[in-house]
């Protein structure tokens, strides 16, 4: 619907830039960094209510200050995200950046509450709530169907904030039903009196959180830098990256991220109880589950990239040329789906063993490699080169994560007859898709 309403032009670029920064923080928090540090710390704490209130107060205060600064100086924030925008485009984009940024404190609160729900092994509310954001955006597009492009971006921006409010309400209902709301609120009541009792716990959490956040955020920072660099390219390049990345994120979120989120409490519990055998058994099951699904998604996404983009986006303001450009970007993204997805699985092992700093070092090397690759490929390949650079950085990050997990441990998992099934199935799927590619395109 967004592609149909806005297509790939300066207005779509402006909205995606405006939504990029709060969405970057959302994905860094929601995809594990905060949760992977908070859950073990929350489980160990002897004063859970006070501890949770303290952590929430610290982080929300910082985020609110940042949000207020962005709303006071939106043009500076816009220039920081998209340096390549000219003065007129920055002026157009600034109010949308300010509006969209109010999503950040909302989604942090949602992420915090979702971590508490995960501690109780309740995942459904968080999984469902993302749909509320999408429903809000769909409603905004529907209500603005007869408006100008500029007005549509306003509707979408307020739709983002409305979606955040709906997500927050759904989580408040869930923690109330699970009996967590009253203890959480009670923590604020006794925060001043008992904060000294959690001083060491708070320091340990802060020490572990920032390496964990950095270690988890390489793909998101790469995507942010994509936008930064794409702002120097022709109009529509930011949109090509966004549309293609939506397709790429679908199997990554459905399979890799969902599996990692659901598996982490179990792995952490076994590691805490010094039962590595059971922990590795779960890792092995998850590995092959992801290997088959992500490999099939990679092959299908690469071969049918044009058909997928055409089916989903080519209507209204989204042209055939936009389809070609977005499909080329999607192919470069899909090459990196398997290593990026599997890396999320092996990072669990590092976080469960409280090796956040090691994960952060891996992320740093991967990001530096991405930057070098991006500057190398952006000239000859444009937006596709930026996507390829992210993929190359993903391969390096995966290799380094496997080394940290243990090369022998990794090959103990891979040395299975399932590897033969995977190879044979991949070859067969590739042949079938190539043979029937033209038929599939006509049939769709």
Residue 440: closest CA among 262, 274, 304, 345: 304
Asked whether 16 and 96 are in contact (CB, 8 A), the reply is no
Question: For the segment 114-131, what is each residue's pLDDT rounded down to a tens digit?
Answer: 888 888 888 899 889 989
Give the per-residue pLDDT at 417.
Answer: 92
The confidence score (pLDDT) of residue 29 equals 61
Q: Which residue has 């952060």 as its token pair? A: 360
- Using an 8 Å Cβ cutoff, are 138 and 1 in contact? yes
DSSP string, 270-314: HHHTT-HHHHHHHHHHHHHHHHHHHHHHHHHHHHTHHHHHHHHH-
- Which of 355, 28, 50 is closest to 202 using CA atoms? 50
What are the structure tokens assigned to 71, written together?
Answer: 């709303």
Residues 6+ apart with CB under 8 A from 119: 39, 42, 43, 265
Rounded-to-integer distance, Cα 213 and Cα 33, Å? 5
Give the tens place of pLDDT for each residue, 177-216: 998 888 888 778 777 767 767 777 777 777 777 776 676 6
Burial 408-421 (b: 16+ CB within 10 A, else e): ebbeebeeeebeee
CB-facing half-sphere around the CA of 170: CA atoms within 13 A: 21
On average, the pLDDT of the chain sits at: 86
CA distance 129 to 164: 9
Among 130, 348, 432, residue whose Cα is nearest residue 254: 130
pLDDT of 198: 78
Which residues in the chain land under pLDDT 70? 25-33, 193, 196, 212-213, 215-220, 440-444
- The tokens describing 354, both together, are 């409280």
Nearby residues of 66 by Cβ (< 8 Å), 6 or more positions away: 104
Residue at token pair 């979606």: 163
- pLDDT of res. 90: 85
CA–CA separation, 118 and 95 (whole Å)? 36
Quick one: 150 exposed, middle or buried, by C-beta within 10 A (0-12, 13-18, 19+)? exposed
Residue count of the chain, please give it: 444
Phi-psi region of 236 (alpha: psi -120 to 50; beta: other; left: phi over 0): left
The DSSP element (H or E) to which 46 belongs, if any, is none
Strand, coil or helix: what is 199? helix
Contact between 74 and 94 under an 8 Å Cβ cutoff? The reply is yes
CA distance 353 to 405: 10
**Alpha carbons 212 and 34: distance in angstroms, whole number:** 8
């Amino acid at each position: 619907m967004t592609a149909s309403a806005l297509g790939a032009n300066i207005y779509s670029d402006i909205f995606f830039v405006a939504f990029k920064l709060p969405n970057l923080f959302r994905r860094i928090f929601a995809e594990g960094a905060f949760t992977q540090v908070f859950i073990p710390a929350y489980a160990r704490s002897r004063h859970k209510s006070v501890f949770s209130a303290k952590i929430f107060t610290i982080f929300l205060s910082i985020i609110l200050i940042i949000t207020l600064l962005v709303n006071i100086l939106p043009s500076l924030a816009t220039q920081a995200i998209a340096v390549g925008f000219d003065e007129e485009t920055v002026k157009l984009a600034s109010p949308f950046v300010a509006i969209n940024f109010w999503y950040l404190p909302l989604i942090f609160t949602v992420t915090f509450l979702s971590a508490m729900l995960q501690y109780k092994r309740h995942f459904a509310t968080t999984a469902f709530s993302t749909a509320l954001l999408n429903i809000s955006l769909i409603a905004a597009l529907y209500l603005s169907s007869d408006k100008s492009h500029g007005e549509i971006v306003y509707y979408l921006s307020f739709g983002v904030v409305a979606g955040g409010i709906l997500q927050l309400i759904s989580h408040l209902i869930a923690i109330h039903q699970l009996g967590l709301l009253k203890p959480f609120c009670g923590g604020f009541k006794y925060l001043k009196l008992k904060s000294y009792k959690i001083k060491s716990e708070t320091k340990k959490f802060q020490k572990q959180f920032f390496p964990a956040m950095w270690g988890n955020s390489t793909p998101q920072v790469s995507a942010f830098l994509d936008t930064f660099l794409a702002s120097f390219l022709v109009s529509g390049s930011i949109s090509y990256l966004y549309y293609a990345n939506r397709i790429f994120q679908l199997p990554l979120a459905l399979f890799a991220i969902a599996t990692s989120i659901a598996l982490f409490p179990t792995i952490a519990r076994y590691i805490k109880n010094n039962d590595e055998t059971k922990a590795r058994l779960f890792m092995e099951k998850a590995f092959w589950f992801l290997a088959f699904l992500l490999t099939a998604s990679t092959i299908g996404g690469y071969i049918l990239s044009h058909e997928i983009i055409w089916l989903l986006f080519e209507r209204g303001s989204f042209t055939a040329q936009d389809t070609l450009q977005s499909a080329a970007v999607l192919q470069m993204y899909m090459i990196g789906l398997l290593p990026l997805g599997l890396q999320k699985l092996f990072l669990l092992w590092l976080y469960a063993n409280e090796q956040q700093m090691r994960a952060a070092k891996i992320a740093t090397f991967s990001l530096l490699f991405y930057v070098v690759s991006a500057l190398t490929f952006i000239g000859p390949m444009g937006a596709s080169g930026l996507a390829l650079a992210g993929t190359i950085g993903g391969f390096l990050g995966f290799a380094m994560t496997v080394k940290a997990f243990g090369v022998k441990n990794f090959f103990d998992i891979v040395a299975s007859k399932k590897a033969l099934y995977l190879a044979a199935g991949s070859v067969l799927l590739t042949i079938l898709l190539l043979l029937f590619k033209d038929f599939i395109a006509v049939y769709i």
